[in-house]
């Protein structure tokens, strides 16, 4: 079995790679940093699995097709696709750099959708395969100060649930995995590490979150939220007026103290 994990040079993706390697899956790991990927590969190869790394910026439009073509040329069959790479940018939309707006859309939405579209048909033809799209609890409500990021994760949830339904009799499973705040390099890159969410409300460890994700994809669950508290918050947004949900979401994202 070979697993392709995007965003595997750190954070949740790296922890997922460890779990798959421990269970004897061969790996194809993708991220931008070739040096970090090489370190991860060296570490995980000691577990007796083969690890291939591809350093690519998936936010660049040709990258998903480039990756697919390279693996096809090398006869690498992907049994499990984990679309994990993603990032957020913090701040008022009006002031945000266009590069950050399009970067989030290109990575969180376009690359994820394109990779799914490229790898799914062969899985359906084999009547076997698993896809896990990493969304976020951010996808369950609007997110002032991270408007594009929250909206991109709402897309991932909606897309994945619809796709899971479309392929339900094909032998392929599609899982949407939703972590809440997690201790990784994500918040620093996003610029929301000083928010109430990360400073006051607490974040889960990447190891624990990855284990929840690993179980969810292997069980073929359609939607999985990591952490009971995150599940309660995500579910509660369905019953409260949307304006209030949005106002609370803003309060949580504002910088603490
Ligand atoms: N941490 C949280 O609080 C949290 C909460 C909910 C959901 N999530 C989601 O969980 C997923 C993983 O996040 P994380 O917390 O593990 O973040 P992270 O620690 O920042 O790791 C992100 C990974 O994606 C890679 N990556 C970033 N931009 C890329 C690009 N343009 N092309 C290819 N690879 C790229 C990074 O490697 P390089 O820098 O080497 O490219 C890294 O391996 C994301 O989809 C995120 O939205 C995170």
- In tens, the pLDDT along 221-237 reads 999 999 999 999 999 99
Q: How far apart are CA 58 and CA 72, in angstroms?
A: 18
Which of 14, 19, 31 has most ligand 1 atoms within 8 Å of CB, for mutation? 31
Q: Given this model, what pLDDT does residue 151 score?
A: 98
CB of 86 shorter than 6 A to ligand 1: yes
> Where in 147-222 does DSSP place strands (E)?
172-178, 182-183, 204-205
Query: Which residues have C-beta within 8 Å of that of residue 163, sequence separation ≥ 6?
Result: 116, 120, 131, 174
Q: Given this model, what pLDDT does residue 150 score?
A: 98
Q: How far apart are CA 23 and CA 26, in angstroms?
A: 9
Q: Answer left, alpha or beta for residue 171, where phi above 0 means left and psi between -120 and 50 means alpha.
A: left
Q: How far apart are CA 167 and CA 57, in angstroms?
A: 29
Ligand 1 centroid vs 69 CA: distance in angstroms?
23
When pLDDT is averaged across residues 61-83 and rounded to a whole number, the result is 98
pLDDT in tens, 34-48: 999 999 999 999 999
pLDDT in tens, 142-174: 999 999 999 999 999 999 999 999 999 999 999
Ligand 1 centroid vs 9 CA: distance in angstroms?
9
Q: Cβ(168)–Cβ(229) under 8 Å?
A: no
Q: How far apart are CA 73 and CA 8, in angstroms?
A: 22
Q: Given this model, what pLDDT does residue 199 score?
A: 86
Q: How far apart are CA 220 and CA 131, in angstroms?
A: 9
Mean pLDDT estimate for the chain: 97
Ligand 1 centroid vs 169 CA: distance in angstroms?
31
Residue 200 has pLDDT above 80, yes or no: yes
- Environment class of 48 (CB within 10 Å of its CB; exposed 0-12, middle 13-18, buried 19+): exposed
Confidence band of 256 (pLDDT split at 50, 70, 90): confident
Q: What percent of the chain has pLDDT over 70?
A: 100
CB of 185 shorter than 6 A to ligand 1: yes
Q: Cβ(119)–Cβ(77) under 8 Å?
A: no
The ligand 1 atom nearest the CA atom of 37: 40
7 three-state secondary structure: coil
Q: Given this model, what pLDDT does residue 219 score?
A: 98
When pLDDT is averaged across residues 16-20 and rounded to a whole number, the result is 98
Q: Given this model, what pLDDT does residue 201 score?
A: 85
Confidence band of 257 (pLDDT split at 50, 70, 90): confident
Residue 85 has pLDDT above 80, yes or no: yes
- Taking residue 223's Cβ as centre, other Cβ atoms within 10 Å add up to 16
């Amino acid at each position: 079995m070979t697993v392709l994990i995007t965003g595997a040079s750190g954070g949740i993706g790296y922890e997922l790679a460890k779990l798959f390697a421990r269970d004897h899956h061969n790996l194809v790991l993708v991220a931008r940093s070739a040096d970090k990927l090489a370190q991860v590969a060296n570490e995980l190869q000691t577990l007796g699995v083969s690890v291939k790394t591809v350093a690519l910026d998936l936010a660049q439009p040709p990258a998903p097709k480039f990756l697919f073509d390279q693996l096809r040329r090398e006869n690498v069959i992907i049994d499990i696709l984990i679309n994990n790479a993603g990032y957020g940018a913090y701040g008022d939309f009006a002031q945000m750099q266009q590069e950050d707006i399009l970067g989030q859309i290109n990575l969180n939405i376009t690359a994820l959708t394109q990779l799914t579209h490229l790898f799914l048909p062969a899985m359906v033809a084999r009547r076997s395969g698993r896809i896990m799209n990493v969304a976020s609890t951010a996808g369950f409500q609007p997110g002032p100060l991270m408007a594009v990021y929250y909206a991109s994760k709402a897309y991932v949830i909606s897309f994945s649930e619809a796709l899971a339904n479309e392929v339900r009799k094909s032998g392929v499973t599609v899982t949407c995995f939703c972590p809440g705040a997690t201790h990784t390099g994500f918040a620093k890159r996003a610029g929301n590490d000083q928010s109430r969410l990360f400073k006051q409300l607490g974040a889960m460890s990447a190891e624990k979150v990855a284990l929840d994700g690993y179980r969810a994809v292997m069980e073929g669950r359609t939607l999985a939220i990591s952490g009971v508290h995150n599940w309660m918050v995500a579910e509660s947004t369905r019953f409260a007026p949307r304006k209030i949900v949005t106002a609370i979401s803003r309060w949580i994202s504002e910088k603490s103290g």
